[in-house]
Amino acid sequence: MPDVFTNIALQHYLIVGALMFAIGMIGFMCRRNLIVMFLCSELMLQGVAINFIAFGAFWGKLSGQAFVIFILAIAAAEAALALAIIVLLFRQKHTVDSQAFRELRG
């Protein structure tokens, strides 16, 4: 591990974050299980968190880590609410298939 967080290192971490975000987006678009869809959104949030930490380490600032703390808070709140809504939807139709709720489309 190099002692200095170089520009090259920043590129590598940004690439990993971008790939993780893209993978999460693919999963969110094509999976039909509601729970797995929200898992994929958590994956996208992690890609963003890698970017924040990388830029924070690059500039030698703590703001990146502070924003990752807020990302964690938002992810926890989102998981609680989304899973409550999924439980509600599951009680309605006894499935977590997102195609089963097509009539929700406006």
Partner 1 sequence: MVDPQTAFPVVISSLLAEVAGTSAQAATGPSAASAITSPVSPGAVVALCIVAGLATWLMLPGKREIAIRRVGAVILTAAALISAALLMRWTAAQGGMGAYFWIFSAIALVSSIRVITHTKPVYSALYFVLTVFATAGLFVLMWAEFMAAALVLIYAGAILITYVFVIMLASEAAAIGAGDNPAGTIPPEQDGISRSPLLASAVGFVLAGLLVYLILDKRNEIHRDVPHAATVAIVNQSGDTAHGDKAPGDTGHREELASAPALGKELVENHSINLQLSAILLTLAMVGAITLARRRVIVSEQDRLASVETVVVPGTPTDDNPHSILVYGTTNPRHKAYPEN
Residue (60 or 106) nearer to partner 1, CB? 60
Cα–Cα distance measured from residue 29 to residue 56, given in angstroms and rounded to the nearest whole number: 30
# of chain residues touching partner 1 (CB under 8 A): 82
Residue (2 or 105) nearer to partner 1, CB? 2
Residue (20 or 106) nearer to partner 1, CB? 20
Q: What's the angle, vertex CA 69, arms to CA 3 and CA 59, rounded to 5?
A: 35
Q: Where are the alpha helices (DSSP H) in 32-95?
A: 34-59, 63-93
Residues 53-92, mask of contacts with partner 1 (x by CB under 8 A): xx-xxxxxxxxxxx-xxx-xxxxxxxxxx-xxxxxx-xx-
Residue 24 contacts residue 43 (beta carbons within 8 Å): yes
Cα–Cα distance measured from residue 9 to residue 59, given in angstroms and rounded to the nearest whole number: 12
Residue (8 or 104) nearer to partner 1, CB? 8
Bridge partners of residue 95, in order along the sequence:
none
Q: How far is the CB of 106 from partner 1 (least distance, A)?
A: 19
Residue from 41, 48, 92, 95 that binds partner 1 (CB under 8 A)?
95
- DSSP structure class, residue 104: G
Residues 30-49, mask of contacts with partner 1 (x by CB under 8 A): xxxx-xx-xxx-xx--x--x
